[in-house]
Amino acid sequence: MTKLNWGMIGGGEGSQIGPAHRLGAQADGNFVLAAGALDMDAEKGRAYAQSLGVAADRAYANWQEMLEGERAREDRVDLVTVATPNSTHFEITKAFLEAGFNVLCEKPMTMTVEEGEEIVRVAEASGTICAVNYCYSAYPMVREMRQMVKTGQIGKVRLVVANFSHGHHGDASDADNPRVRWRYDPAMAGVSGQFADCGIHALNMASFIAGDEVRSLSADFASTIPSRTLEDDAMVNFRMEGGTVGRLWTSSVAIGRQHGFDIQVFGETGGMRWASEQPNQVFYTPVGGRTQIMEKGEAGLSDEAARLSRVAIAHPEGFPLAVANIYVDLAAAIRGDARNALPSATDGLRSMAAVYAAVESAKADGTWVDARPPMLR
Ligand code: NAI
């Protein structure tokens, strides 16, 4: 099959998420890195792109040049990944969608609910694909859990408990480090710190597995390091449209927790647990029965879990290959085979509405707030 042309904005040398995208996009041979504006430093970005094999005339100084250069080409990129800091996502994503490019945008998709609604409208009007990188939803065993809920294997979901709590910003003596400080500064991060950074991954996964959307929430935010304006810890209770009860804890000061993302789903006839630090297993307990460890690659899993796994049972398959699964589904969608599990602009919008609802609730001592975006009420 012919390879698709892929372009990247941000994710330059030394960035956190850039390597996962490069490994992910190219893991299955679907995409070739054909163009890029990889760095806020134009020369550094051009040089790095060329070192990755991008032709000199497609190693752009900035995204505006890339937009102009690519839209004029016959072999324009089939997909653009936006992996820049949060406050730039809206402008870049919107411009590329309007020009007819497919986009994979990093989370959070936008900084406001209004911007999120605008992206959903623009993507619909342009007929392009706009996906958001909720990559944890693409682990094979997360897809298995979703499938188990869908096929009634744990009955109606009563309760979802999700945590995304790490301790990497828990050292008060490091709080002024520029790489840490911006995340808690409203001028750079927006209205929310930890909840917008990590909490939305957990909330998205709760919806993804339960097959239901968040309707309302009540939040308690804390800035446990006093120099921080935005929260570094949050507890959020939520209710889903179908009545499922949700609990979510997210923190960046939970010293000793490393990645710290796990989720438990409790239904009327069974419960399941998955953790990103052991992503190849799901612990499943049927009501009245014994706990079973379900293993990626074993017989009897759903087609969805099987198709997204590449290596044999018991061989670890981790984060970059979960990102790769997003690209597998994007390649299929670009080639005309729609994938309904691909995280969409609507998912990005729902997250932003939940962020604003949580901020409003936290300011009002945990009052319950409607967490749905106005356009989806
Ligand atoms: P970073 O600060 O490590 O890297 C950002 C990169 O973008 C740098 O190479 C920088 O030079 C470049 N850049 C900045 N402004 C640019 C511009 N206007 N044009 C072109 N390049 C530009 O940031 P990090 O941690 O890689 O985060 C980037 C995005 O990815 C954020 O939105 C973050 O929330 C998201 N992220 C998502 C993760 C996930 O699990 N889906 C995990 C980590 C980050």
> Does the pLDDT at position 188 exceed 90?
no
Per-residue model confidence (pLDDT) at position 339: 82
- Three-class secondary structure assignment of the chain: CCCEEEEEEECCCCCCCHHHHHHHHHCCCCEEEEEEECCCCHHHHHHHHHHCCCCHHHECCCHHHHHHHHHCCCCCCCEEEEECCHHHHHHHHHHHHHCCCEEEECCCCCCCHHHHHHHHHHHHHHCCCEEECCHHHHCHHHHHHHHHHHCCCCCCEEEEEEEEECCCCCCHHHCCCHHHHHHHCHHHHCCCCHHHHHHHHHHHHHHHHHCCCEEEEEEEEECCCCCCCCCCEEEEEEEECCCCEEEEEEECCCCCCCCCEEEEEEECCEEEEEECCEEEEEEEEECCCCCEEEECCCCCCCHHHHHCCCCCCCCCCCHHHHHHHHHHHHHHHHCCCCCCCCCEHHHHHHHHHHHHHHHHHHHCCCCCEECCCHHHC
CB 223 near ligand 1, within 6 Å: no
Determine the atom of ligand 1 nearest the C-alpha atom of 133: 41
CB 20 near ligand 1, within 6 Å: no
pLDDT tens readout for residues 130-142: 999 999 999 999 9
Mean pLDDT is lowest, of 11-20, 245-254, 310-319, for: 310-319
**pLDDT, average across residues 115-135:** 98
> Does the pLDDT at position 179 exceed 90?
no
Per-residue model confidence (pLDDT) at position 338: 83
CB 351 near ligand 1, within 6 Å: no
Residue with tokens 């089939």: 78
Alpha carbon nearest to ligand 1 atom 3, residue: 15
Mean pLDDT is lowest, of 73-82, 84-93, 218-227, 333-342, for: 333-342
As a whole number of angstroms, the longest Cα–Cα distance in the chain is: 64
pLDDT tens readout for residues 250-297: 999 999 999 999 999 999 999 999 999 999 999 999 999 999 999 999
CB 87 near ligand 1, within 6 Å: no
**Ligand 1 site-directed mutation target among 13, 17, 89, 205, most atoms within 8 Å of CB:** 17
Q: What average pLDDT does the chain have?
A: 97
> Does the pLDDT at position 45 exceed 90?
yes
Q: What pTM value is reported for the model?
A: 0.97
Measured CA to CA, the distance from residue 265 to residue 282 in angstroms comes to 11
pLDDT tens readout for residues 141-155: 999 999 999 999 999
Alpha carbon nearest to ligand 1 atom 19, residue: 40
**pLDDT, average across residues 223-242:** 97
> Does the pLDDT at position 79 exceed 90?
yes
